[in-house]
Homo-oligomer: A and B are copies of this chain.
Amino acid sequence: MSLGSFFYPKSAAVIGASNEKGSVGYTIMQNFLRGKMPKKAYPVNPKHAKIQGKRSYRSVGEIPGKVELAVIVVPAKIVPIVLGECAVKKVKAVIIISAGFSEVGEYGLAKEIEEIVGKNPGMRVMGPNCIGVLVPENGLDSTFFQGDRMCRPKAGNVSFISQSGALGAVLLDWASGQEFGLGKFISYGNAVDVDEADLLGYLAKDKKSKVIAMYMEGAKDGRKFFEYAKKVSKKTPIVMIKGGKAEETRKATMSHTGSLAGSSKVYDAVFEQSGIIQAGGLIELFALAKILENEPLPKGNRVQIITNGGGFGIVTADAVIGNGLKLAKMSAKSKARLKKGVPNTVTVGNPMDLVGDAGTKRYVNAVEAALKDKNVDMVVVVVLFNTPTLGDDIVGAMARLRKTARKPMVVLSIGSEFTRKKIKRMEEGGITTFHYPEIAAVSLKALADYAAFRKQS
């Protein structure tokens, strides 16, 4: 059974739709009436004749046409009943937002749901205890947070699977402020049916998912997860932040999503063998996703640093080496050519310090040479915009070089308003930018590691 109906449903019902502003049933119904997708949206609520101006149905069975997706937001106790009705109606995809099942010890209710799922293999179920899906491309949105409290990211090519709804929502909100583009967002909660492996399998075939970012506490079926992950990551990089890594926090995951996280050592081994890239924290999760989405895979781990600030170059070199990468040694020929026409204050080495009075031309020469040099696998260009001599044309010049570059080439820059505007334009010009040397370095390392995994697999 494909999972397509979760993301591209022509018709959808919101079971538990509401007229009460701010409520979950209100917000989802509102999202469904607003978006391009679903084309037809039906409110289901027996207590009202109309919901948000639309005719309300007493049950999903009463809806005249087909219902491809149903979103359930009724109290836990009623969920088995309405889920049964969905099965009768031949609904293809069901998202159970409602919580109050195995995560709080209501195993009886969880069991009832499992039985219905088992008897109806044609109906796929996501949740319970989740916030469902967000597809920026077509506006489909079952995440029930109000728009001002959780901004939605623009469409892009990184998809994000989160076992935790709250963590997912807050990261979506944060990402929207970072000009971050998203393919599909999925919060799958307690995974009564659709689990992380199913989602990996679906996203691997999805053109809008060039990279998969993931927050997981424990896989529902460890072996299945391992098999899927191994296959998927040969084509699509998977960046993981694993919750419940420490022995003490494993227990906490039980009451959170009802799944006991496996031991950290086992997961570390599974991740390594299946080519999954572990992020060291939330900052890294999206930094790694970004570089894996935008940059070509490097041939090796030799990094050339080019800078107009000596100290910044040194800190960057420390971070590069500290993360297990190597400083590239450009060929004598490249170096000799570069030394011509630059003042003697310039250091043609690594870091290559173009010094504070560097203009765009000096940068272009250096970056071009590094991109051409066979001893260089990746290029980091530190651009400190606050020096008086650096013209605005550096933005376009770097974007042009990026376009033809066949190696990873990232820009490292930090500052306030003046700099932020230029960084934004660089990003729009297709350049991967970072603010912090330590994050750039760890991202390049992940890229090189993933390239090595792809080469051997």
A 80-110 contacts with B by CB, 8 A: 99-100, 104
How far is the CB of A187 from the nearest CB of chain B, in Å? 10
Question: Which residues of chain B are within 8 angstroms of A439 by Cβ–Cβ distance?
Answer: 281, 283
The docked-state distance in angstroms from the alpha carbon of A345 to that of B103 is: 9
Q: A148-B418, A163-B311, A283-B436 are in contact. Are A353 and B255 (CB under 8 A)?
A: yes
Cβ of A22 within 8 Å of any chain B Cβ, yes or no, is yes
Question: Which residues of chain B are within 8 angstroms of A145 by Cβ–Cβ distance?
Answer: 386-388
A 111-166 contacts with B by CB, 8 A: 145-146, 148-151, 162-166
Q: Judging by beta carbons under 8 Å apart, are B384 and A244 in contact?
A: no
The docked-state distance in angstroms from the alpha carbon of A419 to that of B146 is: 13
Question: Which residues of chain B are within 8 angstroms of A450 by Cβ–Cβ distance?
Answer: none
Q: Judging by beta carbons under 8 Å apart, are B22 and A388 in contact?
A: yes
Question: Which residues of chain B are within 8 angstroms of A59 by Cβ–Cβ distance?
Answer: none
Q: A255-B353, A256-B353, A353-B255 are in contact. Are A417 and B177 (CB under 8 A)?
A: yes
Query: Which one of A174, A256, A310 has the highest number of Cβ atoms from chain B below 10 Å of its Cβ?
Result: A310
Q: Judging by beta carbons under 8 Å apart, are B281 and A437 in contact?
A: yes
How far is the CB of A34 from the nearest CB of chain B, in Å? 18
Q: A166-B311, A414-B282 are in contact. Are A318 and B419 (CB under 8 A)?
A: no
Instruction: Mark the stretch among A200-208, A245-253, A331-339 that contacts chain B.
Output: A245-253
Question: Which residues of chain B are within 8 angstroms of A215 by Cβ–Cβ distance?
Answer: 311, 315
Question: Which residues of chain B are within 8 angstroms of A435 by Cβ–Cβ distance?
Answer: 174
Q: Judging by beta carbons under 8 Å apart, are B308 and A217 in contact?
A: no
The docked-state distance in angstroms from the alpha carbon of A148 to that of B416 is: 9
Contact of A149 among B165, B257, B345, B386 (CB under 8 A): B386
Query: Which one of A256, A282, A308, A311 has the highest number of Cβ atoms from chain B below 10 Å of its Cβ?
Result: A311
Q: Judging by beta carbons under 8 Å apart, are B344 and A281 in contact?
A: no
Cβ of A3 within 8 Å of any chain B Cβ, yes or no, is no
Q: Judging by beta carbons under 8 Å apart, are A356 and B322 in contact?
A: no
Cβ of A378 within 8 Å of any chain B Cβ, yes or no, is no
A 359-401 contacts with B by CB, 8 A: 384-388
Q: In chain B, what residue has the closest Cβ to A187?
A: B311
Q: How many residues of A contact B (CB 8 A)?
A: 82
A 295-331 contacts with B by CB, 8 A: 308-315, 317-319, 321-322, 327
Contact of A281 among B166, B173, B436 (CB under 8 A): B436
Cβ of A170 within 8 Å of any chain B Cβ, yes or no, is yes
Q: Give the number of copies in the complex.
A: 2
Cβ of A169 within 8 Å of any chain B Cβ, yes or no, is yes
Q: In chain B, what residue has the closest Cβ to A27?
A: B388
Cβ of A183 within 8 Å of any chain B Cβ, yes or no, is no
Cβ of A46 within 8 Å of any chain B Cβ, yes or no, is no
How far is the CB of A111 from the nearest CB of chain B, in Å? 19
Question: Which residues of chain B are within 8 angstroms of A283 by Cβ–Cβ distance?
Answer: 283, 436, 438-439
Q: A282-B438, A415-B173 are in contact. Are A166 and B387 (CB under 8 A)?
A: yes
The docked-state distance in angstroms from the alpha carbon of A257 to that of B100 is: 62
Q: In chain B, what residue has the closest Cβ to A384?
A: B170
Q: Judging by beta carbons under 8 Å apart, are A246 and B322 in contact?
A: yes
How far is the CB of A269 from the nearest CB of chain B, in Å? 18
Cβ of A49 within 8 Å of any chain B Cβ, yes or no, is no
Q: Judging by beta carbons under 8 Å apart, are A418 and B246 in contact?
A: no
Q: Judging by beta carbons under 8 Å apart, are A257 and B310 in contact?
A: yes
Cβ of A55 within 8 Å of any chain B Cβ, yes or no, is no
Q: In chain B, what residue has the closest Cβ to A349?
A: B252
Q: Judging by beta carbons under 8 Å apart, are A246 and B317 in contact?
A: yes
The docked-state distance in angstroms from the alpha carbon of A310 to that of B166 is: 7
> Nearest 3 CB-CB pairs, A to B?
A164-B311, A167-B311, A281-B438
New contact pairs (16) apart from A145-B387, A170-B309, CB-CB < 8 Å: A100-B345, A104-B344, A145-B386, A146-B388, A167-B309, A167-B312, A167-B315, A170-B384, A176-B416, A246-B317, A246-B321, A252-B314, A252-B353, A255-B347, A256-B314, A283-B438
10 A-B pairs whose Cβ atoms sit less than 8 Å apart in the complex: A173-B414, A244-B314, A245-B318, A245-B321, A248-B327, A249-B318, A252-B347, A256-B314, A281-B315, A283-B283
